[in-house]
Amino acid sequence: MDDVQAEIFKGLKGAFSELRELTAIDIQRLEVLACVLDEMRKLQTFINEHGPTYQVIGKSGDTYSRARPEYQQLQELRQRHGVLCDKLQGDKRTDSVDAFIAL
Protein backbone atom coordinates (compact mmCIF):
# COMPACT_ATOMS: atom_id res chain seq x y z
CA MET A 1 0.00 0.00 0.00
CA ASP A 2 1.49 3.35 -1.02
CA ASP A 3 1.10 6.68 0.81
CA VAL A 4 -2.03 7.75 -1.12
CA GLN A 5 -3.71 4.42 -0.51
CA ALA A 6 -2.74 4.54 3.17
CA GLU A 7 -4.34 7.98 3.48
CA ILE A 8 -7.54 6.73 1.81
CA PHE A 9 -7.53 3.72 4.16
CA LYS A 10 -7.12 5.99 7.17
CA GLY A 11 -10.16 8.03 6.12
CA LEU A 12 -12.26 4.95 5.39
CA LYS A 13 -11.31 3.34 8.68
CA GLY A 14 -12.22 6.51 10.56
CA ALA A 15 -15.60 6.79 8.82
CA PHE A 16 -16.50 3.16 9.40
CA SER A 17 -15.19 3.14 12.97
CA GLU A 18 -17.79 5.77 13.84
CA LEU A 19 -20.53 3.36 12.75
CA ARG A 20 -19.45 0.17 14.46
CA GLU A 21 -16.55 -1.84 15.82
CA LEU A 22 -14.50 -3.10 12.90
CA THR A 23 -13.66 -6.77 12.53
CA ALA A 24 -10.45 -8.11 11.02
CA ILE A 25 -12.28 -8.86 7.76
CA ASP A 26 -13.67 -5.29 7.74
CA ILE A 27 -10.13 -3.94 8.00
CA GLN A 28 -8.96 -6.19 5.17
CA ARG A 29 -11.88 -5.07 3.01
CA LEU A 30 -11.09 -1.43 3.78
CA GLU A 31 -7.48 -1.97 2.74
CA VAL A 32 -8.61 -3.48 -0.57
CA LEU A 33 -11.20 -0.72 -1.01
CA ALA A 34 -8.52 1.95 -0.50
CA CYS A 35 -6.41 0.37 -3.24
CA VAL A 36 -9.44 0.04 -5.53
CA LEU A 37 -10.39 3.69 -5.02
CA ASP A 38 -6.86 4.86 -5.79
CA GLU A 39 -6.60 2.68 -8.89
CA MET A 40 -10.03 3.90 -10.06
CA ARG A 41 -8.81 7.49 -9.69
CA LYS A 42 -5.67 6.77 -11.71
CA LEU A 43 -7.58 4.98 -14.46
CA GLN A 44 -10.25 7.69 -14.60
CA THR A 45 -7.53 10.33 -15.00
CA PHE A 46 -6.06 8.34 -17.90
CA ILE A 47 -9.50 7.95 -19.53
CA ASN A 48 -10.21 11.66 -19.10
CA GLU A 49 -6.97 12.49 -20.92
CA HIS A 50 -7.06 9.83 -23.66
CA GLY A 51 -10.73 8.87 -24.01
CA PRO A 52 -12.41 5.48 -23.49
CA THR A 53 -11.67 4.22 -27.02
CA TYR A 54 -8.87 4.13 -29.57
CA GLN A 55 -8.84 3.68 -33.34
CA VAL A 56 -7.43 0.66 -35.16
CA ILE A 57 -7.20 -0.04 -38.85
CA GLY A 58 -8.36 -3.50 -39.87
CA LYS A 59 -6.92 -5.70 -42.60
CA SER A 60 -9.51 -4.33 -45.03
CA GLY A 61 -8.39 -0.78 -44.33
CA ASP A 62 -11.50 0.12 -42.35
CA THR A 63 -11.10 2.08 -39.14
CA TYR A 64 -12.62 0.63 -35.98
CA SER A 65 -13.03 1.97 -32.47
CA ARG A 66 -12.06 -0.28 -29.61
CA ALA A 67 -12.43 0.15 -25.89
CA ARG A 68 -9.14 0.89 -24.18
CA PRO A 69 -7.96 -1.86 -21.81
CA GLU A 70 -7.77 0.83 -19.12
CA TYR A 71 -11.48 1.56 -19.62
CA GLN A 72 -12.31 -2.13 -19.22
CA GLN A 73 -10.15 -2.27 -16.08
CA LEU A 74 -12.01 0.76 -14.71
CA GLN A 75 -15.37 -0.95 -15.29
CA GLU A 76 -14.15 -4.07 -13.47
CA LEU A 77 -12.86 -1.98 -10.56
CA ARG A 78 -16.21 -0.18 -10.32
CA GLN A 79 -17.89 -3.55 -9.92
CA ARG A 80 -15.41 -4.58 -7.21
CA HIS A 81 -15.98 -1.21 -5.55
CA GLY A 82 -19.72 -1.84 -5.45
CA VAL A 83 -19.32 -5.33 -4.02
CA LEU A 84 -16.89 -4.15 -1.34
CA CYS A 85 -19.16 -1.27 -0.36
CA ASP A 86 -22.17 -3.55 -0.10
CA LYS A 87 -20.26 -6.04 2.04
CA LEU A 88 -18.90 -3.33 4.31
CA GLN A 89 -22.13 -1.43 4.77
CA GLY A 90 -24.68 -4.21 4.65
CA ASP A 91 -28.14 -2.68 4.97
CA LYS A 92 -26.90 0.31 6.99
CA ARG A 93 -25.94 3.06 4.54
CA THR A 94 -25.07 6.49 5.85
CA ASP A 95 -24.45 9.79 4.13
CA SER A 96 -20.99 10.29 5.63
CA VAL A 97 -19.67 6.91 4.51
CA ASP A 98 -21.40 7.14 1.09
CA ALA A 99 -19.81 10.54 0.53
CA PHE A 100 -16.35 9.28 1.43
CA ILE A 101 -16.63 6.15 -0.72
CA ALA A 102 -17.80 8.20 -3.72
CA LEU A 103 -14.35 9.79 -4.08
The 10s digit of each residue's pLDDT in 13-55 is 999 888 888 899 999 999 999 999 999 999 999 999 999 999 9
The 10s digit of each residue's pLDDT in 48-101 is 999 999 999 999 999 999 999 999 999 999 999 999 888 887 745 455 555 555
Asked if residue 5 has pLDDT above 90, the reply is yes
> How many residues in the chain?
103
Q: What is the pTM of this model?
A: 0.77
Please give the pLDDT value at position 42.
97
